[in-house]
A and B are shown apart, each in its own frame.
Chain A
Amino acid sequence: MKIVKRIIACGLAGLMIFGIYMVSLRATRVEYAHLKYEQFFKDKTDYDVMFFGASHTQNGLYPMQLWKDYGITSYNMGGPDSSLPTSYYMLKLALKYHKPKVAVLDVIMADKNDISWDYSVAHHYLDAFPLSETKIEAVDFLFPDTKKKLEMLFPYYVYHGGWKDIDKEAIEGVFKENHWPTFGAEYESLIQTPPEPLQFVSQDAGYDGDETTGHQYIRKFVELCRENDIEPMLMFFPCGCEESAQRAANEVYRIAGEMEIPYVNLIYEEGLINQTIDYTDGGGHLNPSGARKVTEWMGSFLTSNFQLQDHRDDDNYSELWNATYSNYLEFIENYLQESTDLMTALMNMYNDEYYSYIEVNPGFEADEAEQMLIDQLLNENLAEIKEADTPGENRIKIRVTEVESGKEICTLAF
């Protein structure tokens, strides 16, 4: 009887402490990593494609669009400040849960020898991954400071201090799981034209010097893919970056040739991106308009060069993916409805799920970027435009409808 009482006492205390720990962990943790990866851990089926890289990847490729247009299942594993060694370890971590047919690596930061990762950014990534031997290996390699290593492996050490910020939303979040319906992609509803046209070196402008750490980890990434029967592919997003980064990216042609793997540098894909309207931040990261174009290009390239099946009629995939797609449409509709200016609205309207009726005031004059956005919609038959009979209090009024049902989504006026 005494022993039973002791076991109950210890068990009860252990359970209560564990309960307090779990509730406080979930209430105080940084949600970003979990919003991004929760779905990754929940899914039981493997993906056709997984995308790896830095924030350019995260903003620049939409798995939901690949599903809708090509029936390709994919996950966007890209994240901020992610160096090539980081992407290598992200692949290693990801392989514990899913094995894709194709792994695509963005080779931005190929010019870097520095492997360290800003640990506050890293929390937005790694915290969702449970503790494992691979995670310990990754953290040990990527973080030089011992204290930082332990903080990455046991993030509660960092989070618990956020108890003062716990609010109703945080408490609700403890008991329900939430994730983006984007399969890892981030939808950045911003638009900013570069102050000056982006300058790019010529495609044959190579890299002087030894192979960098970035280059070495491109090779390791490819080798890891091959060890796991995954077809590797390399790419470089169309973005403004330093000349050294561009030259290092061009060096990847040689590496890709040696390793006999496809490599596409989208800087040199003529007419793909419109610098004026396709960036969130003046030339670094793609906005939804630019990301849709790159995703479309990627879908076409993947179906032409790899043996990927169209799963749209496959019951093993269609139920989950179609349900998520509905949530995705609602998700991006919120951004559309919350557009605070004309350019943002026109950018968010660039989606073949929408058909928009644009009414402009007499004498309406669009600036260069606005006109390009309107022309983009008109050229792809995603909108029609007319002049109002009488002037109204707004320059322009837009009624956005769903293509399939004709249902009105929202009316915007600026």
Chain B
Amino acid sequence: MRTVLNLLSEYHMSLISAEFLLFIAIVIAIFYCVPGKAKRLWIGAANIVFLYFAGGLYGLSLWFLGAAVVYLGAMGITKGRGFLKKLCFWVPLIINLAILIITRYQYIHPVRAPFGVSFYTLILLSYLIDVYWGKFEAVLNPVDYFSYAGFFPAMTSGPIIRYKEFEANFKDRIRPDYKNIVFGMERILWGFFKKLVISERFAVLVNTVFGDYKTYSGAYIIFGVICFAFQLYTDFSGCMDIVMGVSEAMGMKIPENFATPFFSRSESELWRRWHITLGTWFKDYIMYPLQKTDLMVNFSDICRKKFGRKTGKKVGVWPGLLILWFLIGYWHGGLLKFVIGSGLLHAIYMICGQINEPWLKKVHEKLGIKPENGWYVILCRVRTFLLLCSGFMFFRADSTITALRMYGAIFTGNMGLFSAEGITSLGLDVPDLVVAAVSLLILFIAECFMQTGSVREKLYEKNVFVRALTWSLLAGAVMIFGMYGPAFEAGSFIYQNF
């Protein structure tokens, strides 16, 4: 026992680890054993243990500081009036933003960012702002609050859960439910498949191209950025699957962060399907309040007068859109490449989309193109995907300058990718490339089925043998083809760094 504890005390937990699986097995088992009121206490304890092993005492302490000031501030908002109410709002807000900015944006001060700071800061602030706006009163019970404020599955990479969404899980008594537990485990398995089998493989290809774009120029760069899209998606959504699966296994529902984004037909639709909770957070707490300010209302009025009601309404939103996307980009890391690649570029695409919409509609009518035509839908999806990739070039490159140079390097005419050794020179041999391709195809097929409903529900209706075989083969694929272990050293989730 002492030896096992020794081993545990030296370890830093990662979501993609056997230790995390053991941890959640214990947490879930005990969660169902403890009586109703004690469940939140147990979640609180699990949060502290996870944060300690994932982020050390440093991470745990900073989280606790941020969460505690928000807890006290919210109570002050509920009980106070006037100046005190405002003080209880602004002080916790500033403290948490200060922790985020000082630790996260290293050029200000080189302090190590605590684990999950970008995510839990938004979670805490959403609670504080909702209380300030009177959506609900502050939670007095510290157990109820801290079980939400550090809900361990969401600490790594989100989703950014609102308090009311979390609280809704405890309206009725949570009982062990076979379907919840099984579905939860299936989702965790799916997350491991995406991360370890797909994402880690594409990471090898991406790292080769982006690590030496002068050698791997031309078609390699296009290939590399497309691979990065797959890598990032399977990495991030894989993490979300694990997070969702853990919550589901505990009989809890938390908001989805992805909804098959590569099936989006437009930029607007894409950002309703990709990192959903981040987008809605910024919209609800930044953009909509901004739109309601006198300055923006006046600006909207001026636009309506100048451009007409319809166009003026659109133009009136554009400044807010640009600010929103600037902040979203900045949240990713404070560097220009993120501001452009994860922010302003997409705002510009959306604005262009709105500008082009009227004349494009006329062209479609003239040519008899219906929006639901199969080939047209595919064209729109491919276009949206490529626009997304254009931003990813900045996201993945070392800097904005490097990204621009890489764009330039596309036009070198290097077609080496299509030669005999082309693709195998990127770090993966033929067996690994086959696994990457087949697993991506499996993902694509699964997401096609997801367009018409839950794949797990559909499988649940099949006979016992088919279900057991499907999930066993998936587990086998993760065990055998997963890129974990000393030969691979699977990296942490990309968004964990945020």
Residues of A within 8 A of B (CB): 5-6, 8-10, 12-13, 16-17, 20-21, 24, 133, 136-137, 140, 146-147, 149-151, 154, 156-158, 160-161, 163-164
Chain A: minimal CB distance from B289 (Å): 47
The interface residues of chain B lying within 8 Å CB-to-CB of A164 are 429, 431-432
Contacts of B468 in A (CB 8 A): 9, 12-13, 16
Also in contact, A6 and B178, with CB within 8 A (given A16-B469, A160-B482, A163-B481) = yes
With CB as the reference atom, state the residue of chain A lying closest to B11: A146
Q: Is the CB of B464 within 8 A of A24?
A: no
Given that A24-B480, A151-B485 are contacting pairs, would A136 and B472 also be in contact in the complex, using a CB cutoff of 8 Å? no
Known contacts A20-B476, A136-B4: A9-B487 contact under CB 8 Å? no
Question: Is B479 a contact partner of A20 (Cβ separation < 8 A)?
Answer: yes
Interface status of B449 (Cβ within 8 A of chain A): no
Which of A5, A24, A136 has a CB less than 8 Å from the CB of B479? A24
- Which chain B residue shows the least CB distance to A161? B487
Q: In the complex, are the beta carbons of B480 and A9 less than 8 A apart?
A: no
B465 at the interface (CB under 8 A from A): yes
The answer on a CB contact under 8 Å between A24 and B476 is: yes
B445 at the interface (CB under 8 A from A): no
Would you list which residues of chain B between 238 and 289 have a CB under 8 Å from chain A?
none
Docked-complex contact A12 and B7, CB < 8 angstroms: no
Residues of chain A lying within 8 A (CB to CB) of residue B4: 136
Q: When the two chains form their complex, are residues A17 and B475 in contact, meaning their CB atoms are under 8 A apart? A: yes
Please pick, from A8, A136, A154, A158, the residue contacting B3 in the complex, using a CB distance under 8 A: A136
Which single member of B429, B471, B480, B487 contacts A13 (CB below 8 Å)?
A: B471
| Nearest-Cβ distance from residue A320 to partner chain B, whole angstroms | 36
Bound form: Cα–Cα A55–B481 in Å: 34
How many whole Å from A69's CB to the nearest CB in chain B?
43
Alpha-carbon distance A325/B151, docked complex (angstroms): 64
17 CB-based A-B contacts, threshold 8 Å: A5-B464, A9-B467, A13-B471, A16-B468, A16-B469, A16-B472, A17-B475, A17-B479, A20-B476, A24-B480, A137-B3, A140-B3, A146-B11, A154-B18, A157-B485, A157-B486, A160-B479
A151 and B482 in contact (CB under 8 A), knowing A20-B475, A140-B6?
no
B269 to chain A, nearest CB (A): 36
B488 within 8 A of A: yes
What is the interface of chain B, defined by CB distance below 8 A to chain A?
3-4, 6-7, 10-11, 18, 178, 182, 429, 431-432, 464-465, 467-469, 471-473, 475-476, 479-488
A164 to B481, CA, bound (A): 9
Given contacts A16-B472, A16-B473, A137-B3, 9 further A-B contacts (CB under 8 A): A13-B472, A21-B476, A24-B480, A140-B6, A150-B18, A156-B479, A157-B486, A158-B485, A161-B487
Query: Which A residue's beta carbon lies closest to that of B4?
Result: A136
Closest to B8 in A: A146
Q: How far is the CA of A13 from the CA of B467 in the complex (A)?
A: 8
Q: Which residues of A have CB within 8 Å of B431?
A: 164
The answer to whether A17 and B476 touch across the interface, beta carbons within 8 angstroms, is yes
Cβ B486 vs Cβ A151 within 8 A: yes
Contacts of B487 in A (CB 8 A): 158, 161
Task: Say yes or no: B10 contacts A158, CB within 8 Å.
Answer: no
* Smallest beta-carbon distance B14→chain A, Å: 11
Contacts of A13 in B (CB 8 A): 467-468, 471-472
In contact, B480 and A146 (Cβ under 8 angstroms): no
Report whether A17 and B464 are in contact in the complex, using a CB–CB cutoff of 8 Å: no
Nearest-neighbor residue (CB-CB) of A159 within chain B: B485
What is the CA–CA distance of A142 and B4 in the complex, to the nearest angstrom?
A: 15
Whether B7 contacts A157 by the Cβ 8 Å rule is no
Q: Cα distance A150–B182 when bound, in Å?
A: 28
- Report the minimal beta-carbon distance from B197 to chain A, rounded to whole angstroms: 12
A164 and B428 CA atoms in complex are apart in Å by 12
Identity of the chain B residue whose Cβ is nearest the Cβ of A27 in the assembled complex: B480
Which 10 A-B pairs give the minimum distances between C-beta atoms?
A16-B472, A20-B476, A12-B468, A13-B468, A161-B487, A146-B10, A9-B464, A140-B3, A17-B475, A157-B485
Distance between Cα atoms of A151 and B485 in the complex (Å): 8
Residues of B within 8 A of A150 (CB): 7, 18
Q: A146-B10, A149-B7 are in contact. Are A160 and B472 (CB under 8 A)?
A: no
Which residue on chain A has the smallest CB distance to residue B19? A150
Give bound CA distance, A24 to B487, whole Å: 17
Given contacts A146-B7, A160-B479, whether A17 and B488 have CB atoms under 8 Å apart is no
CB of A400, distance to nearest CB on chain B (Å): 44
Distance of A158 Cα from B475 Cα, bound (Å)? 17
The 8 Å CB contact of B484, one of A6, A140, A157, is A157
Query: What is the CA–CA distance of A21 and B482 in the complex, to the nearest angstrom?
Result: 13
* Contacting residues, chain B, for A20 (C-beta < 8 A): 472-473, 475-476, 479-480
Note all chain A residues with C-beta closer than 8 A to B178.
6
Closest Cβ of chain A to B178, distance in Å, is: 6
- List residues of chain A with CB within 8 A of the CB of B485: 151, 157-158, 160-161
- Closest B residue to A4 using CB positions: B464
Complex: chain A residue closest to B469, CB-CB: A16
Q: How far is the CB of B352 from chain A (nearest CB, A)?
A: 46
- Please indicate the chain A residues that have their CB under 8 angstroms from the CB of B469 in the complex: 16
Which residue, A154, A157, A160, has most C-beta atoms of chain B within 10 A?
A160
Q: Which residue of the partner chain A has the closest CB to B488?
A: A161
- The docked-state distance in angstroms from the alpha carbon of A157 to that of B483 is 10
List the A residue with the shortest CB-CB distance to B1.
A133
Contact indicator B479/A21 (Cβ below 8 Å):
yes
Chain A CB count within 10 A is highest, among B11, B429, B464, B476, for: B464
Q: How far is the CA of A164 from the CA of B432 in the complex (A)?
A: 9
Q: Chain A contacts of B182 at CB under 8 A?
A: 10
